[in-house]
Structure 1
Amino acid sequence: MFIISLTYSGPFEDIDRLIPEHNAFLDKHYESGSFIASGRKNPRTGGIIIANAASKSELEEIIKEDPFYRHQVANYEIAEFIPSKYNENFKLFIKES
């Protein structure tokens, strides 16, 4: 499982213009099961995506589809973690190894 932290590096007018395409990117990966949750940081400096992918390299390929990445208006930090404790309702997202 991964936490992707996006930090905006471009002007807000570019970010705002790309939001519809970014939302379509998110929707595609929610449908595939790769993304679990996402949202803006507060204050609005970027966003967070919680993802479930087979590997960090797979996730890096997914990120390359993001319009924010393609237009170079955000930087990405990926942290991998192994959930060892979680709410029972979250169990369906856990892939046993």
Structure 2
Amino acid sequence: MFVVSLKYIAPLPEVDALLHAHAAWLDRGYADGVFLASGRKVPRNGGVILASGERAALEARLSEDPFAKGGVARHDIIEFAPSMTAAGLESLKKA
């Protein structure tokens, strides 16, 4: 499992110009079963994606993010192996 941390490296108006395309890209990740959760950081200086799968495939997917292609965000990947979860989230141990 992976935690992807996005950091905006451009002003918010440039980020916002790509937001619709980024959301469509996220939708594809959810439809493919790769993305498990996502959202904005608070304060709004980036975002977070919880993802499953293989690292190489995730890196390839992240390179297609409109935020990456547009040069407005940088992705940092943290891999971890969940060993404990809250009730109802046990399936994450296998992700």
TM-score, with length taken from structure 2: 0.94
Identity of aligned residues (%): 42
Partner of 1:73: 72
* Mapped contact 2:36–2:50 kept (Cα < 8 A): yes
What is the aligned-residue RMSD (CA, Å)? Answer: 1.2
- Segments ≥4 residues shifted beyond 3 Å: none
User: Is 1:9 the equivalent of 2:32?
Assistant: no
TM-score, with length taken from structure 1: 0.92
Deviations along 1:51-90, whole A, 9 cap, x unmatched?
A: 011x211110010110000011101110000000012311
CA–CA distance in structure 2, aligned partners of residues 2 and 81 of structure 1: 6
Show structure 2 runs of 5+ residues with no match. none
CA–CA distance in structure 1, aligned partners of residues 75 and 29 of structure 2: 17
For these two proteins, the number of residue pairs brought into alignment is 95
Task: Give SS of 2:84's match.
Answer: coil
